[in-house]
Amino acid sequence: MKKALIIGNWKMYITSTSEAKKFVSELKKKNRTLKHADVWIAPSYIYLFMVGDMLKKSSIRVGAQAVSAYTQGGHTAEVSAAMLTSTNTSFVLIGHSDRRAKGETNAIVHDQLLRAIEAKLTTVLCIGETVRDQADEYFEVITQQLHTALEEFPKQAIKKLIVAYEPVWAIGKASKDALNPQAVHEMQIFIRKVLTALVGRQSANTIPILYGGSVEPENAQALIAESGIAGFLVGHASVNLNQFCDIIAACKK
């Protein structure tokens, strides 16, 4: 059975170089005893060089939280996929709801995805509905997000694609507010169905589907054991070393 994948999205929670350094050196030590899972972290841009350097010889992979839809030019404050590869960055989160909330549309997400793939980065495509309406329209939201993002996606790059399902309404809360394992399981099946229609069954079956949204040590084990997901995208609990390691430990299959 494949190892679970746990990605820590630091967002803007870690706010100093010394804090970032301390966290990474402790995680590196603890990770030696957590061999049953793959652990990746996504620090803020400003720490990518330092963290990438610290983890050069480690199995922990380093990624960015976002990437530009452009390759170069007059795009103040943006960072291109090629620029990311000049650090030890090997993956990138794309379409995170924090970014979508600031105006990144499905079309922009599509362009970012292609730029990242062109630069040979592994891509973690984040999707998720903002509300769960009575009429089940959120299934349509998910379908649309996947369809637009994956238009023109090169078939040979499927192995570089991971999908993270994060219902926006469940993000940044406590484990009791997260989606329950049964509902995650249902959505996991639905996403796989949409992916099958888009890229074919064989390819779709190889795409890891993660869950994110208030994953904490309290709900991690039930979620991984009962929902058929490949792992987690963790936000607030990923910057608390004990909590993050407890989540990783809970993913022992």
123 belongs to the binding site for ligand PGA (CB under 6 A): no
236 belongs to the binding site for ligand PGA (CB under 6 A): yes
Which residue carries 């959505």 as its tokens?
A: 187
- Token duo for residue 5: 């994948």
Figure out which of the listed residues 172, 192, 203, 221 binds ligand PGA, where binding follows CB under 6 A: 172
110 belongs to the catalytic site: no
5 belongs to the binding site for ligand PGA (CB under 6 A): no
- How far apart are the C-alpha atoms of 6 and 203, rounded to whole Å? 22
- How far apart are the C-alpha atoms of 68 and 222, rounded to whole Å? 36
- Token duo for residue 249: 């430990």
Compute the least distance from the CB of residue 248 to ligand PGA, in Å. Answer: 14
Cα–Cα nearest to 78, from 86, 88, 70, 90: 70
9 belongs to the binding site for ligand PGA (CB under 6 A): yes
- How far apart are the C-alpha atoms of 161 and 182, rounded to whole Å? 24
Figure out which of the listed residues 213, 223, 247, 248 binds ligand PGA, where binding follows CB under 6 A: 213
Q: Which of residues 56-85 bind ligand PGA (CB under 6 A)?
A: none
Q: Residue 180 CB: number of other CB atoms within 10 A? A: 14
Figure out which of the listed residues 88, 123, 214, 243 binds ligand PGA, where binding follows CB under 6 A: 214
166 belongs to the catalytic site: yes
User: Which residues participate in catalysis according to the annotation?
Assistant: 96, 166
Task: Kindly list the residues in this chain that would bind ligand PGA in the complex (CB under 6 A).
Answer: 9, 166, 171-172, 212-215, 233-237
